[in-house]
């Protein structure tokens, strides 16, 4: 007699297809996602527990919204959907690559309102908006217009305040809801000064920096950080990243412009309201790869700076790269958390950097909580007029160095012996002296590329388990210095590279790839890493992504791929991340690094996700943008996708 199929499976202990899934747990916490990093501290952590390692494999798409940004307006321009929505007053707020602000119903994806600032795209090749800021003014009367606001910066350098309920501009803010951020910057060419990151709110002020195209020329607009009154839009203070012994004439009231060429602050800030501090990651002093003309102007470059939110006064700063000649600006939002010290929790900040390091600093003083060593770095090959720093800071504990290895001719990689040989030839033909090898006339292999091992996706921290999670990219490049006269002639012929006008050299960057398009450095080319903060040890590391979208079959391999975007962690023990170029959105077990779920989306997921649960009887949602990235080679699109568990 034939046994029923379920009896056979039960006897074999394979019951998944015959048992009903456990019902959803509605007893857990309710939580939102109020800021770009989940909170003002930027932890990218959620206390939600409805989606668990046991049921995450059942996730399904709840709704999809299309921003409508699919076509490039000009050949040299490309929109990149990197937005992370925020939740406020029962609405999701996000932005398109062209700064259209959108409010959605978080449970259905229904569009509630949109606002189009109609940005002027002249000269802007980088079209992206990573998010907007929601702020509720609890001191204002209930129902008052603009009691809750959505704040956004634009690609053409405007700060806009919108009523969160209607999307209409706040008339009392600036000029009909808009502040012109070019004021005080002097001459600004189209596309030289743009806003890509959301501002923060602290001490009744809107505080923001700006993205300066700092590899274009020496005399770029100032990388000033400014604070504007939350209600009126009036300038409250400005901090230009000049050395302490120099006084900015604009702040002194002597001139109408800020000192030019200073390091900008293009990434996301964090806020410690208890201590009245705002944490600012800074970029490079122009023109990035040549420092012979800086004359000390890079004092605050590639640093984490703690400013007093009420005044803009510098409280402390920590420089992650001295005299930066590699475009290793600090790209990631600082993450504020309590570090498990020997005598108890210590207020700390974790700062991820491009060169491969994660620095753990005292939030109040800037002193390292994980010891930092100054180690000698290469000095050979420097171009004329350059004086490189003899040392660079390294975490003494290698657990906080995401990749401790270096390159060699022997570890060059390829899909076949032939293309591996070609990579070895390229390596031999260029200079390489180890970490921080200097840009040179003959061409220098630099590892990592200027995008860095770590970028704006930052790190996520589970404060209960004391686990830090980060994704990293591992790809080498070749940087070649081109003398000024030769560079100008080549630019006239239509060649493209970093022109660095005003400097004695321009610079060409090339990814170091095999003839088949694979990175020459050994895989994995992208990883997901967890660090046990209490033990000070690596917990696990796994490749992130496959070559499916980057290579033809049969070269689909789980080698890890270059990635842009970040992760989030939930109290139930899950890590959600897209970031990889293969178009997958994934969930991992935070304790083991085991992949538990993956969903292929219609475009690359070069954005950081978010999660929320609105009410006790409601479901937990996970939302992510799938828009791809032209420079990474992932498929482009315009989707906002929400996932939840079925009933």
Cα–Cα distances in Å, from 429 out to 260, 409, 423, 442?
Answer: 38, 11, 10, 8
CB proximity list for 392: less than 8 A, separation 6 or greater = 321, 322, 355, 374, 375, 377, 435, 436
Distance CA(260)–CA(271), nearest Å, equals 27
| Number of Cβ atoms within 10 Å of the Cβ of 562 | 25
Strands 277-281 and 270-272: antiparallel
For residue 470, the Cα-to-chain-centroid distance in whole angstroms is 11
Cα–Cα distances in Å, from 303 out to 267, 343, 475?
Answer: 12, 28, 23
**Active-site entry in 163, 214, 327, 462:** 327
Contact 202, 273 (CB under 8 A): yes
Distance CA(282)–CA(259), nearest Å, equals 16
Active site (annotated) includes residue 647 = no
Distance CA(348)–CA(363), nearest Å, equals 4
- For 605, counting Cβ atoms within 10 Å of its Cβ (0-12 exposed, 13-18 middle, 19+ buried), the class is buried
Q: Which contiguous run of DSSP H or E holds residue 485?
A: helix 484-492
Distance CA(303)–CA(309), nearest Å, equals 18
Task: For 491-519, give the secondary structure using H, E and C.
Answer: HHCCCCCECCECCCEEEEEEECECCCCCE
DSSP 8-state symbol, 498: B
Closest CA to 319 of 268, 280, 346, 377: 280
Distance CA(65)–CA(625), nearest Å, equals 9
Strands 126-128 and 78-80: parallel
b/e map 459-472, b = 16+ CB within 10 Å? bbbbbebbbbbbbb
Q: Greatest CA separation found in the chain?
A: 98
Contact 379, 399 (CB under 8 A): no
Distance CA(337)–CA(358), nearest Å, equals 14
Count of residues in the chain:
647
Half-sphere exposure at residue 523, Cβ-oriented, CA atoms within 13 angstroms: 18
Q: Is the peptide bond before 143 cis (omega within 30 degrees of 0)?
A: no
Q: Which contiguous run of DSSP H or E holds residue 307?
A: strand 303-308
Q: What is the dihedral of CA 331, 336, 337, 341, to 10 degrees?
A: 80
DSSP 8-state symbol, 398: G
Residue 151: strand pairing partners = 133, 161
Contact 435, 447 (CB under 8 A): yes
Q: Which contiguous run of DSSP H or E holds residue 65?
A: strand 60-66
Contact 263, 301 (CB under 8 A): yes
Catalytic residue positions, numbered: 327
């Amino acid at each position: 007699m034939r046994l029923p199929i379920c009896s056979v499976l039960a006897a074999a202990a394979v019951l998944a297809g015959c048992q009903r899934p456990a019902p959803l747990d509605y007893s857990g916490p309710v939580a939102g996602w109020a800021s770009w990093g989940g909170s003002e501290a930027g932890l990218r952590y959620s206390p939600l527990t409805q989606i668990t390692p046991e049921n995450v494999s059942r996730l399904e798409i709840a709704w999809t919204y299309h921003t409508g940004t699919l076509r490039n307006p000009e050949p040299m321009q490309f929109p990149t959907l990197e937005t992370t929505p925020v939740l406020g007053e029962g609405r999701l707020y996000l932005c398109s690559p062209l700064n259209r602000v959108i409010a959605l119903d978080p449970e259905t994806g229904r569009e509630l309102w949109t606002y189009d600032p109609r940005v002027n795209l002249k000269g802007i090749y980088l079209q992206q908006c990573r998010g907007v800021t929601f702020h509720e003014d609890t001191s204002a009367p209930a129902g008052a217009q603009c009691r809750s606001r959505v704040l956004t910066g634009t690609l053409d350098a405007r700060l806009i305040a919108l009523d969160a309920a209607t999307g209409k501009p706040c008339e009392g803010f600036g000029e009909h809801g808009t502040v012109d951020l070019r004021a005080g910057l002097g001459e600004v060419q189209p596309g030289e000064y743009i806003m890509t990151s959301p501002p923060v709110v602290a001490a009744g002020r809107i505080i923001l920096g700006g993205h300066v195209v700092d590899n274009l020329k020496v005399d770029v607009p100032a990388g000033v950080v400014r604070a504007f009154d939350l209600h009126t839009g009036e300038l409250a203070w400005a901090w230009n990243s000049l050395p302490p012994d120099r006084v900015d004439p604009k702040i002194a009231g002597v001139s109408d412009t800020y000192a030019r060429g200073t390091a900008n602050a293009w990434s996301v800030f964090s806020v410690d309201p208890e201590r009245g501090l705002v944490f600012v990651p800074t970029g490079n002093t122009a023109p990035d790869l040549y420092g012979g003309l800086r004359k000390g102007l890079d004092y605050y470059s590639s640093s984490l700076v703690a400013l007093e939110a009420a005044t803009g006064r510098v409280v402390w700063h920590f420089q992650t790269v001295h005299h930066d000649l590699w475009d290793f600006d600090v790209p990631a939002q600082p993450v504020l958390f309590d570090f498990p010290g020997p005598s108890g929790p210590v207020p700390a900040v974790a700062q991820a950097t491009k060169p491969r390091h994660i620095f753990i600093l005292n939030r109040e003083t800037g002193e390292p909580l994980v010891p930092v060593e100054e180690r000698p770095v290469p000095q050979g090959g420097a171009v004329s007029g350059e004086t490189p720093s003899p040392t660079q800071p390294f975490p003494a504990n290698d657990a906080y160095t995401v990749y401790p290895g270096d390159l060699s001719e022997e570890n060059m990689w390829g899909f076949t012996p032939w293309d591996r040989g070609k990579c070895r030839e390229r390596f031999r033909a260029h200079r390489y002296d180890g970490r921080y090898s200097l840009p040179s006339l003959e061409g220098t292999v630099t590892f990592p590329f200027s995008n860095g091992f770590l970028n704006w996706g930052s790190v996520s921290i589970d404060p209960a388990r004391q686990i830090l999670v980060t994704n990293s990219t591992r790809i080498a490049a070749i940087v070649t210095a081109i003398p000024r006269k030769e560079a100008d002639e080549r630019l006239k012929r239509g060649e493209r590279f970093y022109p660095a006008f005003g400097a004695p050299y321009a610079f060409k960057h090339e990814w170091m790839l095999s003839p088949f398009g694979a990175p020459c450095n050994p895989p994995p080319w992208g990883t997901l890493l967890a660090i046990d903060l209490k033990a000070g040890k690596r917990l696990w590391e796994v490749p992130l992504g496959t070559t499916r979208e980057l290579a033809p079959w049969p070269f689909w391999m789980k080698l890890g791929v270059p990635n842009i975007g970040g992760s989030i962690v939930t109290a139930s023990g899950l890590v959600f991340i897209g970031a990889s170029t293969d178009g997958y959105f994934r969930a991992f077990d935070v304790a083991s690094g085991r992949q538990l779920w993956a969903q292929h989306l219609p475009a690359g997921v070069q954005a950081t996700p978010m999660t929320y649960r609105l009410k006790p009887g409601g479901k937990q949602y996970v939302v992510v943008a799938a828009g791809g990235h032209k420079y990474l080679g992932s498929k482009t699109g315009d989707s906002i996708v929400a996932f939840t568990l079925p009933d």
